[in-house]
Amino acid sequence: MNSSGASLITIFLGLVLINNFILAKFLGLCPFFGVSKKLSNAMSMGVAVIFVMVLASIATTLIHKFILVRYDVEFMNIIIYILVIASLVQIVELVIRRTNIALYNALGIYLPLITTNCAVLGITLINSQNNYNLLQSIVAALGGGMGFTLMLIIMSGIRERVEYGDAPAAMKGLPLAFIIASLLALAFMGFNGMI
């Protein structure tokens, strides 16, 4: 059945709110928990990830349709997708270094780490699994990426406040971040059934 008949709005909102990459699908957690408390860094990181996700989705959807399926070598998808992503990140890194050195320094080591961000490979796999066409893949990448960025921004804001609180030593830092994420996940469950 043509399940790729899902409308674009459904795909987009579904990925931002209901199947949020961080809170529901557990993709992109490393930068999420390591995010700085500065809002501007969280934003930069998020935008960089969205950018790579969209480019990767375009490239991999085309490769999937015109090479993998056509020549019946779908099992090569893992290798090819990750190599495409690694190359894209290299290119993006080069471009940012040439055009906006401040951004390059702000992102630091997190820029090359986008390669191993589950969210990027994740969206390419989701696109192939659901057999999305090019437009749907782009929308899905935007949705997934924006959901990820949204959570990054929320988390950076919360952690800033939590710093001033009085938590038991064992809880400080990561454990508290996990509890916060759990509460956020619980809250976002309220969006179920919305679309």
Six-digit token string for 32: 């999420």
**Where does this chain touch other proteins (CB under 8 A) — which range of 39-47, 63-71, 132-140, 169-177?**
169-177
Q: Is residue 3 part of the contact set for other proteins (CB under 8 A)?
A: yes
Q: Say how many Å lie between the first and final Cα of the chain, rounded.
A: 21
User: Tell me, what DSSP letter sits at residue 19?
Assistant: S
Contact (Cβ atoms closer than 8 angstroms) between residue 180 and residue 158: yes
Rounded to a whole number of angstroms, the minimum distance from the CB of residue 102 to other proteins is: 26
Q: How many CA atoms lie within 13 A of 17 on its CB side?
A: 14
- In whole angstroms, give the CA distance from residue 55 to residue 53: 6
Q: Is residue 109 part of the contact set for other proteins (CB under 8 A)?
A: no
Rounded to a whole number of angstroms, the minimum distance from the CB of residue 42 to other proteins is: 18
Site size toward other proteins, by CB under 8 A: 58
Q: Is residue 125 part of the contact set for other proteins (CB under 8 A)?
A: yes
Q: Is residue 189 part of the contact set for other proteins (CB under 8 A)?
A: yes
Q: Is residue 131 part of the contact set for other proteins (CB under 8 A)?
A: no
Q: Is residue 53 part of the contact set for other proteins (CB under 8 A)?
A: no
Q: Pick between residue 22 and residue 146 the one whose CB is nearest to other proteins.
A: 22
Amino acid at 46: G
Q: Is residue 151 part of the contact set for other proteins (CB under 8 A)?
A: no
DSSP per residue, 56-77 = HHHHHHHHIIIIITTTT-GGGH
Amino acid at 57: S
Q: Pick between residue 57 and residue 100 the one whose CB is nearest to other proteins.
A: 57
Six-digit token string for 149: 């960025």
For 105, other C-beta atoms within 10 Å of its C-beta total: 11
CA dihedral defined by 94, 44, 159, 149, rounded to 10 degrees? -110
Q: Is residue 170 part of the contact set for other proteins (CB under 8 A)?
A: yes
Q: Is residue 158 part of the contact set for other proteins (CB under 8 A)?
A: no
Give residues in contact with other proteins (CB under 8 A): 1-3, 5-6, 10, 14, 18-19, 23-30, 33, 73, 75-79, 82-83, 86, 115-118, 120-122, 125-126, 129, 168-179, 181-183, 185-186, 189, 192-193, 195
